[in-house]
A = this chain, B = another copy of it.
Amino acid sequence: MTSYIMDKLYDRVEKRGVVCVGLDTSLDYIPEHLKEGRTSSEAIFEFNKQIIDATYDVASCFKVQIAYYEALGLEGLTAYKKTLEYLRKKDEIIIADIKRGDIAATAKMYAKAHFEGDFEADFITLSPYMGMDSIEPYIPYIESGKKGIFSLVRTSNKGAEDIEYLDTISGDKVYHIVGDKLMEMGKDFTSSCGYHPLGGVIGCTHVEEGKELRKRFNSMFFLIPGYGAQGGKAEDVAMYLNNGNGGVVNSSRGILLAYKKENREKEFALCAREEAIRMRDEIKKAVNSL
């Protein structure tokens, strides 16, 4: 079965590199000159728009973290809606980082919320705690070829050991089992690029496991957080990729706040571009050194 969106993301990585620009836009990230004469909602959208315009040709996709917008209520969600509209108009790939996790009728409502209407994205992130019936309601959208998901599988935060890394009596850890089940569900949707649109969120800071996971979940596309601000290095990331594809690597604050390192407020968008290029090239180099 062909997945239009999975092949599109794969092609974008081939052409533009693995960088996923994270639009976790907090009001206090926005330079003062951009806030003048604008409502919060307008300032956030203007900031995002300039970041998008400055980075899209060196990034495979954009990840929009909805929590930052929800925190400002309807005002924030208006900026969220406008940001997604702008990305869709530019034909950029949107990953909505929503980590919703519910079942049955409720999950169908979340699918409708984030695959249609005001908040339409191409991919969404999901939390699988309630089991695979928290993923199934999204399958009709996946069957259309136009949408995909990234389920949490194995993250790199300290608390990941509380549940994800627990050893089960089968010999596998919880995250192995989650990943295996996603692979099983995804295999019918493996597209011509070799991956299926039931991707996994896989943290990159346990480099010793990178090879093992890449092999076990060989047709799973990875959304890799934790680069930069959260401690992941280019050499770590490279282990989770297949010749530099098979995943995208997110950076949010590293890109959005690149201007702060050099006090170049007015050039925040150019600084973001420079950082995205630096990151892309650093990872490319690490991949080539493997």
Contact = CB atoms under 8 A, between A and B. Distances in A.
Contacts of A24: 105-106
Contacts of A133: 157-159
Given A67-B110, A128-B163, A169-B169, A73 B117 contact: yes
A49 interface: no
A193 interface: no
B70 A103 contact: no
Given A163-B174, A163-B178, A177-B166, A101 B119 contact: no
A101 B127 contact: yes
Nearest to A134: B159
A131 interface: yes
Q: Which bucket holds chain A's interface residue count?
A: 35 or more
Interface in A42-101: 65, 67-68, 70-78, 81, 99-101
A102 interface: yes
Given A77-B74, A127-B129, A169-B168, A159 B67 contact: no
Contacts of A174: 163, 166, 174
Ordered nearest first, which 7 A-B pairs have the shortest CB separation? A131-B159, A73-B118, A133-B159, A131-B162, A70-B113, A67-B109, A129-B129
26 contacts: A65-B106, A67-B113, A70-B109, A71-B109, A71-B110, A71-B112, A73-B113, A73-B119, A75-B118, A77-B77, A99-B101, A99-B102, A101-B101, A101-B127, A104-B157, A127-B129, A129-B152, A130-B157, A130-B160, A131-B160, A131-B161, A133-B157, A162-B177, A163-B174, A166-B166, A174-B174
